[in-house]
Amino acid sequence: MLKIVQISDTHLIGSNSSLFGIDPSLRLKRAFESILKYHSDASFVVITGDLANAGESMAYEKLKKLMDDFPMSVYFIPGNHDKIENIQRYFDDYKDLKFIQYEKTDTNRAFIFLDSTIEGEEFGGMDRSRLKWLEEHLKINRDKDVYLFMHHFPLISNLPWMDKHANFRSKEDFFNLIEGFGNIKHIFCGHLHRIIDANYKHISISCTRSTTFQVAYRPNCEDDYLTNEENPTYCVAIIKKDSLLLHHHEFLQEELIYPGQQW
């Protein structure tokens, strides 16, 4: 068995002000504390994009401090709110990359981290060079189970504003590439600030909530981007040889439990 933890859409801010009345850094710190308390056996933690709310340099400085104080391995990919040049100021591992794509492998599995951002756009996509990189790494790992991480959700979500203004524009090219490989086990996404489970043919896909604010599910509000106070989550993925189990854990009130059996 192998366990990994996904965090998404932390939206850290550079100033000491709040975002919708929330301190994003404190929320991420709370998530890290919960993960360390209950899931210290995880192989790694991954943050699937929108690390910063507006790409501010100071936001990545805060992220680096939180990661340095956290004893587990943390990987991340950018989202549409991020600025890669500011990420590269604080994280040496990403300094020489044209786009932030890389892989982590073990004997039986490959975890591939993808950059779905388009500079200056809410939309996501993958140009020819990124798709070619992905194809090369899928070929290298043809004999392993492959798990993909990307910020943008690669299907239509039935969140009208997101589908209209911030969707993933490379769906056809992306799926034409990956569905030819029969070993793609799951795609982990962020961006939508909601818990969503989906399938594309034989490939399962999931999205987890933001640690900061959520997108309201209002399928009839095409021109409104509505946020709400649904509880933040992180996703715990338990991977076995023949199965994948996902827990989307609401970590803010995890200690508020009913004592004993009341039924």
Query: Which residue, 92, 160, 87, 156, is CA-closest to 124?
Result: 156
Give the model's pLDDT for residue 258. Answer: 78
Say whether pLDDT at 223 is over 80: no
Q: Burial, 19: exposed, middle or buried (Cβ in 10 Å; 0-12, 13-18, 19+)?
A: middle
Report whether 9 contacts 24 (CB < 8 A): no
57 vs 39: CA distance, rounded Å: 30
Report whether 42 contacts 35 (CB < 8 A): yes
Give the model's pLDDT for residue 59. Answer: 97
| Domain 2-250 class, CATH top level | alpha beta
Give the model's pLDDT for residue 171. Answer: 96
Report whether 72 contacts 42 (CB < 8 A): yes
Write the DSSP string, 13-69: -SSS--BTTB-HHHHHHHHHHHHHHH-TT-SEEEEES--BSS--HHHHHHHHHHHHT
- Over residues 68-112, the pLDDT tens digits come to 999 999 999 999 999 999 999 999 988 888 899 999 999 999 999
Query: Which residue, 109, 197, 100, is CA-closest to 153?
Result: 197
Give the model's pLDDT for residue 95. Answer: 86
Give the model's pLDDT for residue 261. Answer: 65
Residue ranges of the domains in the chain? 2-250
Indicate yes or no: pTM above 0.85.
Answer: yes
